[in-house]
Structure 1
């Protein structure tokens, strides 16, 4: 079942169209109150735990230490393996907290998704399935540490395809049927995703709070391309690439991009299985095997119009597209980043990176404009004083081709991106 995010919105504020799934982050003050503990189960264990594991069971999930408000749902409480310090972001179906691992002191991000309706369950399971399907890590894809399913005072560590967990199977059934299943209790149900914390914010915040820097742009272009190539090699189409969903980690001293938010992603099942030795690192694997995998994923057709308006390819608006839609979205992001093209989001009022086409006093997403006028010529670069090289210009034109067959696949893009960024 394809995952989509409802109907396309047409909210206009000051002549600017609104983006779908925009996130207005709300910061909450710390309150230092540790809440009572709930019983924790690990649905991966069918036999009694060893003594060492039993000692850890009382220190296995979350404690919450922020100030409650009317906007927060009833407090979710589990035995404290992680302490939630503050709220750092809130979307239409989930909340993200900064957290700390109580044993190691490591900073983490914890995303809580409420599974109270089939559409929310679909989004939560899509993210879970995408992140758990990755057999290897990639430095430019956000890392999932663990996922916990919590309902009715019981927390279970999630494992993909676990047939022993009635709660997990109930969520899957609800997602597949598209309706609340008969007899399923109405108590709040949550999925908690524990992930690496990215202290540098998202790509919008990072780029727009600093002076233009060509070296940073080149590095980010290579990193984003490498991440998308890795996902496509692993049969995952992201379907919602945008600056909001690209986070920045600065733990190594230099900024490292992390593609995140896989709620609209699609794991293209049925393609050739991956060999775990084939993709040990970014760009690894033989040329032939990579090309074969790219060819397979680009033959997998999707039909739900998903994503955010300003980054959607023409064919996504029509609802018949492949992984090449991710290449188009990446082209929009890179173009906007290099030339610092922005718009004001109608819902959050934030300034966001995004390229568009002007039609009178209105601005129109590039993909929608190309769908209406396939012969339209995109003026790349837009700004007269742009420092964009001819190589980058030609690559962006190819990435934004109206016909998906004229765009490079992710493997070809990775090779060409290395060439143009080294030459510029």
Structure 2
């Protein structure tokens, strides 16, 4: 079976593999709705940050699910962090509120219906929350009514397989079991898996058990522990001073549970007892829970959005463009939550701060916050799907049928004028990134793809898995170790400062000039067609010092000194030749900025930038010269016999 035949992503059919790198594998993917072909990158879903962003972005809006606004990269002091912006709920979590206020039984019934409606919505959308507890159920107000919001989908699972089973158990639950109240909201199957250190093959019924526990705690106001400062809302077996989690009691058996003693409605009391069955198959589904609560309590579901209360306080080190921060309002295993006021609208949201450690998160966030540019790969969406039975993340973007610039130049006779066009487009893309405070950090042929717009080549910079957002002094203060894992051609595109940091195993405090050095190397390789190595099957486009049979990376040669570099020998334009030499300076401060590089190339080559969006077309036949739609020649250079093509 071919690899792509295992892939599944709702709304797409997959074609062949078209690329593979350190952060993921890329396939063609055709939209079932439009028939248009895109590029789909698969990424492993191992980080709670990725999972939460993707689950939130693919969910439709529901009044009882925390509304996702956006995810953006920002800073906590000098540390790069990810913020997830969502609704702000000024009343806090349901557990704290019920313990601090005298909440009447009718209000509790309203909230029970809303909770069941939210969980039903998640399950209908194939999502298991996996962490239903008071801290993840917040309260706000809409006019005169309480509104419940289910939050924190960092442990959520997307259902896979024909039996709606989640086939892997998230080990972060291990961290939660020692926390304040989380262990009191585990299901028996989760409790046993943790006790025996075994994986748990479970169904959406884990949410049903946890929801039953929360309903029981809400109505009876149960608080294990006698110390006032340590009170939290949770059901339990045994005594207050020696409480036992219900999952443990149910697993052991023979322990009486006094469920919903304060609730007079017998239907609903019996419902909660069924929700707390040891056997997952005996628990009712979320939709049945909702129907019984509606029959017993009435319909208190909501159809409108929530009006949020504004809180403001700028006295902290957090920074996120477009927002000012207030106080901390929550803290969990996956991140810390603050109030954040939009500078544009004045509306207050909740901003969850997450560590940026995974290339998948970084790539999604960089792509989503970038404005559209014709020479930057256009991001369409990120969605969770499957590779066989494994949950994976897909990044959907443009499809570039001509492949990467290195392979294309080696396979085709590309004329010098076309190379100049592409050089200007590359400089325009890097200038755009740097103006937006982003350093790509991995400029090389494999990350520069080609497509066509009408009769013209269009260059696209891709793969932001190693990209960095600049700090306050335009310095990136941490070095991405995945450089060590990259493929064969990458070492030839490193800058001297990165080369030395890797050799000495030291962190690298570097500036956007790393992109300038790599871009200079790529321009040199493009114009001179350099290929280290003599084996035809191993050829790749890269500049080098020394000989083809014993090539040395330029960064190494520049660092050692005393090694002659024959830069841009095939280029007649002296301005541009000298420009590339400056771009390859050992000292980062001596390299020109991206904007100056662009200006010099424009002066030397002319303006070949694209000001409009790009029309992507699928090229099935590379024999026609893409620079001339009226010509059917097989040549791609001045040797073409058609005068109109030769004159271009």
TM-score, reference length from structure 1: 0.62
- Helix, strand or coil: the match of 2:6? coil
Distance 1:315 1:93, change over 3 A: closer
Query: Partner residue of 1:331?
Result: 520
Query: Partner residue of 1:131?
Result: 367
Query: Partner residue of 1:303?
Result: 479
Query: Partner residue of 1:77?
Result: 8
The offset of 1:73, in angstroms, is 8.8
The offset of 1:96, in angstroms, is 1.4
The offset of 1:350, in angstroms, is 3.5
Conservation of the 8 A alpha-carbon contact between 2:8 and 2:386: no
- Aligned partner of 1:380 among 548, 564, 567: 567
1:409 maps to 2:593: yes
Q: What are the superposed Cα offsets for residues 263-296 of structure 1, whole Å, 9 maximum, x if unpaired?
A: 111122x54xxxxxxxxxxxxxxxxxxxxxxxx5
Distance 1:92 1:233, change over 3 A: closer
Distance in 2 between the 1:206 and 1:387 partners?
A: 19
Conservation of the 8 A alpha-carbon contact between 2:366 and 2:467: yes
Equivalent residues in 2 for 1:6-405 (5 A)? 68-69=1-2, 72=3, 75-79=6-10, 81-116=11-46, 122-134=358-370, 136-150=371-385, 188-268=390-470, 270-271=471-472, 296-297=473-474, 299-304=475-480, 306=483, 308-319=490-501, 320=508, 321-344=510-533, 349-358=537-546, 362-373=550-561, 376-382=563-569, 386-405=570-589
Distance in 2 between the 1:200 and 1:263 partners?
A: 22
Q: What are the superposed Cα offsets for residues 48-68 of structure 1, whole Å, 9 maximum, x if unpaired?
A: xxxxxxxxxxxxxxxxxxxx3
Query: Partner residue of 2:232?
Result: none
- Helix, strand or coil: the match of 2:17? strand
Conservation of the 8 A alpha-carbon contact between 1:126 and 1:263: yes
Distance in 1 between the 2:4 and 2:453 partners?
A: 32
Conservation of the 8 A alpha-carbon contact between 2:23 and 2:465: no
- Helix, strand or coil: the match of 2:540? strand
Larger radius of gyration between Structure 1 and Structure 2: 2
Distance in 2 between the 1:198 and 1:232 partners?
A: 23
Conservation of the 8 A alpha-carbon contact between 2:405 and 2:448: yes
- Helix, strand or coil: the match of 1:227? helix
Query: Partner residue of 1:4?
Result: none
- Helix, strand or coil: the match of 2:375? coil
Distance in 2 between the 1:86 and 1:74 partners?
A: 9
- Helix, strand or coil: the match of 2:556? helix
Conservation of the 8 A alpha-carbon contact between 1:243 and 1:333: yes
Query: Partner residue of 1:31?
Result: none
- Helix, strand or coil: the match of 2:466? coil
Q: What are the superposed Cα offsets for residues 341-390 of structure 1, whole Å, 9 maximum, x if unpaired?
A: 112499x94321111000695211001111122x54433244xxx24321
Query: Partner residue of 2:328?
Result: none
Tell me: higher relative CO, structure 1 or 2? Use CA pairs within 8 A at least 6 residues apart. 1
Distance in 2 between the 1:152 and 1:408 partners?
A: 44
Q: What are the superposed Cα offsets for residues 170-211 of structure 1, whole Å, 9 maximum, x if unpaired?
A: xxxxxxxxxxxxxxxxx8431101101101111012212222
Conservation of the 8 A alpha-carbon contact between 2:39 and 2:397: yes
Distance in 2 between the 1:111 and 1:152 partners?
A: 12
- Structure 2, unaligned stretches of length 5 or more? 51-356, 502-507, 608-648
Distance in 1 between the 2:413 and 2:384 partners?
A: 43
The offset of 1:332, in angstroms, is 0.5
Structure 1 runs of 4+ aligned residues shifted over 4 Å read 150-153
Distance in 2 between the 1:196 and 1:205 partners?
A: 19
Distance 1:415 1:131, change over 3 A: same
The offset of 1:212, in angstroms, is 3.8
Distance 1:78 1:338, change over 3 A: closer
Conservation of the 8 A alpha-carbon contact between 2:23 and 2:360: no
The offset of 1:77, in angstroms, is 3.0
Q: What are the superposed Cα offsets for residues 86-105 of structure 1, whole Å, 9 maximum, x if unpaired?
A: 22233455221111111212
Q: What are the superposed Cα offsets for residues 240-280 of structure 1, whole Å, 9 maximum, x if unpaired?
A: 11111110011432110000111111122x54xxxxxxxxx
- Structure 1, unaligned stretches of length 5 or more? 1-67, 154-186, 272-295
Distance in 1 between the 2:456 and 2:548 partners?
A: 41
Name whichever of 218-227 and 203-212 sits farther off.
203-212
Distance 1:190 1:211, change over 3 A: same
- Helix, strand or coil: the match of 1:99? strand
Distance 1:388 1:362, change over 3 A: same
Distance 1:102 1:216, change over 3 A: same
Distance 1:381 1:215, change over 3 A: closer
The offset of 1:114, in angstroms, is 1.9
Q: What are the superposed Cα offsets for residues 103-152 of structure 1, whole Å, 9 maximum, x if unpaired?
A: 2121111111123589x971211211211121x10100001100013479
